[in-house]
Amino acid sequence: MRSTYAIEHIKQNRHNPNYLSSVEFDTTKLLLTNDINEAVAYADYVIFAIPSAFLSGELEKLTVSLENKIIFSAIKGIVPETSLIVGEHFHKTYNIPYDNIGVITGPCHAEEVALERLSYLTIACGDMKTAKVMAKNLNSHYIKTKISDDIVGTEYAAMLKNIYSIAAGIAHGLGYGDNFQALLMSNAIREMKKFIKKVHKMKRNINDSAYLGDLLVTGYSVFSRNRMFGNMIGKGYTVKSAQMEMSMVAEGYYATKSAHKLNEEYKAKTPIIDAVYDILYEGKEPKKVFKKLTEKLD
Amino acid sequence: MRSTYAIEHIKQNRHNPNYLSSVEFDTTKLLLTNDINEAVAYADYVIFAIPSAFLSGELEKLTVSLENKIIFSAIKGIVPETSLIVGEHFHKTYNIPYDNIGVITGPCHAEEVALERLSYLTIACGDMKTAKVMAKNLNSHYIKTKISDDIVGTEYAAMLKNIYSIAAGIAHGLGYGDNFQALLMSNAIREMKKFIKKVHKMKRNINDSAYLGDLLVTGYSVFSRNRMFGNMIGKGYTVKSAQMEMSMVAEGYYATKSAHKLNEEYKAKTPIIDAVYDILYEGKEPKKVFKKLTEKLD
């Protein structure tokens, strides 16, 4: 954890002072540190769970080798410095083989996990044996796990869904209703399929829970930071003021820029991503952009 | 309309006394009657929009020929007497050619249409020219239309989604959260695809708005009668008491029985439909049935 104050607070009170504060930790099972080297040296399996925008900076502090470590990402975003998803970033920047890289993906809002509501995770890894080990360890009476070999696809889906969630929020903020929201999600999953196919073509069912399920939970849930962020934009907040109002980072904000940039190469037809990009980065008026977007959807 | 009282009320007050009462009708454009023969004799295009359970009884009163009439269904259910979807019922029972039969489908809750919120319709018909005529006539500044030649698939989707919406309601009533709801919808669309493929195999994208969009609007919306009905069942109401509490018919209740019966022949793997059937028709306990169902989903 970055904050030493939060670490001390958890040690003394067994609760995180900032997020999901109702959850009680068994501190005897935790090694709490703000030193990435101490954490990595201690662990065989490392799960990264920080906003993607801060990952590169944290990793620069790393002096301990990542060789032979199993690295899982729960981040779901693009590393801005390299425009790579987290798995690719570890593979290309740190030479970690894909067999040692994995992704943990939903549909799984942390808020409901904290409430012990039944949730399903997909554990994707190049090495199916490693995926199984991780799946077994994350399994519990309220968490069911399945495994997948589609590291790239699941991680791109997890990243893209945040953009579609912002779009859903903007639509809601502009006054579009449930009928349009359903139409938007139906278009979003088709757009996502096209995009991911360009990035990494393989046999996958885009309606599996790691893709469609993850899109829906984020696009529909009131817990979603990205949807909340989009909603404020739709209601007329500027990007800056919406960000200031929210104490948490909306991953989709960065994802939009990265996906848009990546798509200059892939050239998938992505009217929804383009619309969100135009609003967030080109200063275009949400109402006008969405009016045009409605003509392109079906 | 069946009720002469409602007809008189609309004539005098320009509002329906029972449903969407805020909508104002231009009564100079309406021919209001409770006589199906008068309505059919007058019209070239006939849109049926009554609960599927009452269709067969109404049609028995028909003495005017349906020959050369264009028949559209906005019903989205199965005719209990013949276990056929409405299009099939007209085709097989009244020898109407498929070129004269069409389906109007969503994602499109009437409540939001009444509020003039942007909504999209799919108009399916055996004859594309007829589909275009109907699409053009239903088009407006808040209704966008697209056409399709998949009469059977769109109508089955519209029928099946009501069952999945009951399932979503039951899950909610039992205390499952948003994570599970997303997982359920992701499984539902895969199940729907398998079922429809068995009924009528053709090239279709199950993520098009007439299939996935329609499923989502019903499965997520607070307006959905089927979801409301399921929610009451999940909360412990008996089927009978839930039906008595609701003044409107939950189409999915009949659809569940019909789909279950049809599937004895098709033998698609449909754990969600089976679960809803077991609860509604076999008197099994929702909590136990859903616990088992969660083991079958992924």
**Tokens coding A155:** 């991680």
Q: Quick one: pLDDT at residue B160? A: 97
What residue type is assigned to position B146 of the chain? K
Q: Quick one: pLDDT at residue A249? A: 73
pLDDT at A151 over 80: yes
Mean pLDDT on B123-149: 96
CB neighbours of B57 closer than 8 A, spacing ≥ 6? none
CA-closest candidate to residue A164, choices A184, A193, A142: A184
Q: Please, what is the Cα angle at A181 between A210 and A291, to 5 degrees?
A: 125
Mean pLDDT on A277-298: 98
pLDDT at B292 over 90: yes
> Contact B135/B166 with Cβ under 8 angstroms?
no
Using the beta-carbon criterion (under 8 Å), do B209 and A119 form an inter-chain contact?
no
Mean pLDDT on A202-222: 96
The percentage of residues in chain A with a pLDDT greater than 70, rounded to a whole number, is 100
**Tokens coding B166:** 């009951």
Give residue B185's pLDDT band: very low, low, confident or very high (50, 70, 90): very high
> Contact A278/A289 with Cβ under 8 angstroms?
yes
Q: Mind listing the pLDDT tens digit for each residue in A19-29?
A: 899 899 999 99
Pairs across A and B, CB distance < 8 A: 148
Q: Quick one: pLDDT at residue A141? A: 96
Helices (H), chain A: 4-13, 36-42, 52-60, 86-94, 110-114, 128-138, 151-174, 178-199, 214-220, 225-234, 239-245, 251-266, 271-281, 286-296
CA-closest candidate to residue A170, choices A73, A76, A253, A74: A253
Q: Does B114 touch chain A (CB under 8 A)?
A: no
Q: Quick one: pLDDT at residue B83? A: 85
- Cα dihedral across residues A89, A92, A94, A99: positive or negative: positive
pLDDT at A200 over 80: yes
The percentage of residues in chain B with a pLDDT greater than 90, rounded to a whole number, is 88
Using the beta-carbon criterion (under 8 Å), do B185 and A212 form an inter-chain contact?
yes
Using the beta-carbon criterion (under 8 Å), do A120 and B183 form an inter-chain contact?
yes
Q: Quick one: pLDDT at residue B246? A: 84
Whole-number average pLDDT of chain A: 95
Strands A119-125 vs A101-105: parallel, antiparallel or unpaired: antiparallel
Q: Mind listing the pLDDT tens digit for each residue in B16-38?
A: 999 899 899 999 999 999 999 99
Q: Mind listing the pLDDT tens digit for each residue in B212-271?
A: 999 999 999 877 899 999 999 999 999 999 988 887 778 899 899 999 999 999 999 999
CA-closest candidate to residue B109, choices B99, B119, B101, B94: B119
Q: Quick one: pLDDT at residue B250? A: 84
CA-closest candidate to residue A289, choices A241, A247, A233: A233
Q: Which of B189, B216, B221 sits opposite A207 (nearest CB)?
A: B189
Q: Quick one: pLDDT at residue A80? A: 85
Q: Mind listing the pLDDT tens digit for each residue in B42-89?
A: 999 999 999 888 999 999 999 999 999 999 999 988 898 888 899 999
Q: Quick one: pLDDT at residue B80? A: 85
- Whole-number Cα distances in Å, A210 to A50, A77, A85, A99: 20, 15, 16, 19
- C-alpha B259/C-alpha B266 separation (Å) is 10
Q: Quick one: pLDDT at residue B77? A: 85
pLDDT at A247 over 80: no
Mean pLDDT on A170-184: 97
Q: Mind listing the pLDDT tens digit for each residue in A47-78?
A: 999 988 899 999 999 999 999 999 999 998 88
Using the beta-carbon criterion (under 8 Å), do B177 and A205 form an inter-chain contact?
no
pLDDT at A248 over 90: no
- C-alpha B186/C-alpha B232 separation (Å) is 23
Q: Does B235 touch chain A (CB under 8 A)?
A: no
- Cα dihedral across residues A288, A290, A294, A295: positive or negative: positive
Could you give the maximum distance between any two Cα atoms of chain A, in Å? 57
- C-alpha B237/C-alpha B219 separation (Å) is 20
- Judged by DSSP in three states, B120 sits in strand
Name the DSSP class of B247. S
- C-alpha A60/C-alpha A108 separation (Å) is 30
Q: Does A208 touch chain B (CB under 8 A)?
A: yes
Range 238-267 of A in CB contact (< 8 A) with B: none
pTM: 0.95
